[in-house]
């Protein structure tokens, strides 16, 4: 399984960057996790949109779905150019019908609802969910392929359940929208210390801090997380790639 970060920013993209978007590849199958602002532009450096096999969305905040509409435009234009286009499945929860309906467009994309207590298979990936603590319904994902485990917290304030949900993951992609001395809980987000604490309790191999703030010195977030977690830590940045099969 290979992960490539497309967009590391929380809330909105910093100049020339993108908000939430992460590309997972395994055995030639390409799954895009979240599709935030400017993701479509950045994604094309790694894969053409019509070659995606599936998309999965954690929740319907704009920094996670802003580019769904332009992804659909890209696919319909490919179709006009006489390219073979298969209908792209976009997995999302249907607790927000307005959000879920955005996943359908002509015959180029279709929404597929997932349920929190369900385990689903998307190509070679097995996906399970954990409801997070956020102002709107949002789901963390545990994605497994062969012997590799990738866990994405999506957006959430601290939850004890993350420790078991992320247990022994190879990669924990954990939101850290706030610096250590701040309180993210009212906004539904976590701090660097909380991210480190979860990674330590879950005994993950690699912690990637994401959904990053646009202000301050990001190295501080990494340093703070390292006070709680002794394993390897990365700050998410566009193009950061970890290949677990190597």
**Binding stretches for Zn ion (CB under 5 A):** 61, 63, 155
CA distance readout (Å), 188 to 118, 137, 138, 158: 24, 11, 10, 8
The residue among 25 and 63 lying less far from Zn ion, judged by its C-beta, is 63
The residue among 66 and 169 lying less far from Zn ion, judged by its C-beta, is 66
The residue among 61 and 142 lying less far from Zn ion, judged by its C-beta, is 61
CA distance 207 to 171: 6
CA distance 175 to 190: 6
For the bound state, the minimum distance from the C-beta of residue 120 to Zn ion, rounded and expressed in Å, comes to: 22
For the bound state, the minimum distance from the C-beta of residue 186 to Zn ion, rounded and expressed in Å, comes to: 13
For the bound state, the minimum distance from the C-beta of residue 121 to Zn ion, rounded and expressed in Å, comes to: 26
The structure tokens 């792209």 sit at: 88
CA distance 138 to 206: 23
Closest CA to 32 of 83, 95, 80, 103: 103
For the bound state, the minimum distance from the C-beta of residue 155 to Zn ion, rounded and expressed in Å, comes to: 4
The residue among 155 and 238 lying less far from Zn ion, judged by its C-beta, is 155
Six token digits for residue 67: 């580019």
The residue among 1 and 7 lying less far from Zn ion, judged by its C-beta, is 7
Largest CA distance in the chain: 54
CA distance readout (Å), 44 to 4, 49, 51, 64: 12, 7, 10, 17
For the bound state, the minimum distance from the C-beta of residue 159 to Zn ion, rounded and expressed in Å, comes to: 14
For the bound state, the minimum distance from the C-beta of residue 50 to Zn ion, rounded and expressed in Å, comes to: 27
CA distance 206 to 231: 6
The residue among 65 and 145 lying less far from Zn ion, judged by its C-beta, is 65
CA distance 156 to 1: 25
């Amino acid at each position: 399984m290979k992960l490539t970060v497309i967009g590391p920013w929380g809330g909105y993209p910093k100049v020339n960057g993108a908000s939430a978007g992460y590309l997972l590849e395994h055995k030639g199958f390409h799954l895009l996790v979240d599709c935030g602002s400017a993701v479509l532009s950045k994604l094309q450096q790694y894969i053409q949109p019509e070659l995606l096999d599936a998309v999965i969305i954690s929740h319907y905040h704009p920094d996670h779905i802003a580019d769904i509409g332009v992804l659909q435009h890209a696919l319909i234009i490919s179709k006009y150019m006489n390219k073979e286009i298969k209908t792209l499945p976009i997995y999302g929860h249907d607790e927000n019908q307005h959000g879920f309906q955005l996943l359908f467009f002509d015959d180029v994309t279709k929404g597929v609802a997932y349920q929190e207590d369900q385990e689903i298979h998307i190509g070679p990936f097995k996906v399970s969910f954990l409801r997070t603590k956020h102002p709107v319904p949002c789901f963390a994902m545990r994605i497994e392929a062969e012997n590799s485990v990738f866990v994405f917290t999506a957006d959430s304030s601290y939850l004890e359940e993350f420790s078991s949900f992320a247990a022994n993951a190879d990669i924990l992609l954990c939101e850290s929208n706030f610096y250590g001395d701040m309180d993210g809980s009212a906004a539904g987000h976590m701090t660097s210390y909380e991210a480190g604490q979860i990674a330590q309790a879950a005994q993950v191999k690699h912690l990637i801090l994401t959904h990053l703030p646009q202000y301050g010195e990001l190295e501080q977030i990494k340093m703070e997380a390292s006070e709680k977690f002794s394993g390897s830590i990365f700050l998410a940045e566009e193009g950061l790639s970890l290949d677990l099969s190597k």
